[in-house]
Amino acid sequence: MSLYLASASPRRKALLEQLGLSFDVCPVDADESVFEAEVGSCYVERLAKLKANMALDKLRAASDIDASAGRCLYVIGSDTSVVVDGVILGKPLDQNDFSKMMNRLSDSTHEVLTGICVLRYDISTEKVVEESLVVSTDVRFKCLSDSEISAYWHSGEPADKAGGYGIQGLGAVLVSAINGSYSNVVGLPVSELKELLVGMGFDFWGSLATNGPSI
């Protein structure tokens, strides 16, 4: 079996590496525009599916599928967004946009949604099976001062983060509580992903025994 991650995110890559899985990265450049009236759960699931299918198309077009690795390959697509009061927060455009985000999140609870999609591709028959789901985590921010918001922006961390923060980094000091999956907030809900893979026939524990660190 071969496993591919349709993402260039170092955070998602690190989470998969922590599991001891052997995989390859196949990043894609997907249009992440939000459709009119699109709700957060639909948005992240749609993008997860789009990224997974784009990666599989890319692999097939490049003849980059190793038939010797097994009868099937699996492709993981994922997308994470911060949603507050029904509004999807993307990456901050500039410091002013970031400050507005932080003031909106300050002293309140928001939702972090991650869509994950797994494609199972049968190399011999070229049949594709697709499964997807959305995982939600509630995140509570402490009350943020203007000086904290400014200092965090100038740390350089928020610029490329959806919602303007990274819980796995300095952004952790902004968070007072979470309810749900921590890895989901980082960008890939690993427990739910494992169940999705296993349900599609992926030998998760066998892969760990072969590729993972000894216990």
The answer to whether the beta carbons of residues 31 and 100 sit under 8 Å apart is no
79, 94, 97, 203: the catalytic one is: 79
Residue 79 annotated as catalytic: yes
Please give the Cα distance from 133 to 40 (Å, whole number): 13
Residue with tokens 């028959």: 125
Q: What is the number of alpha carbons within 13 Å of residue 20 lying toward its C-beta? A: 13
Residue with tokens 């922590």: 18
Helix residue ranges, H only, the chain: 10-18, 40-61, 95-105, 146-154, 182-186, 190-199, 204-211
Residues with Cβ < 8 Å from 3, sequence gap 6 or more? 21, 22, 23, 24, 73, 74, 75, 76, 202, 207
Query: Catalytic residue positions?
Result: 79
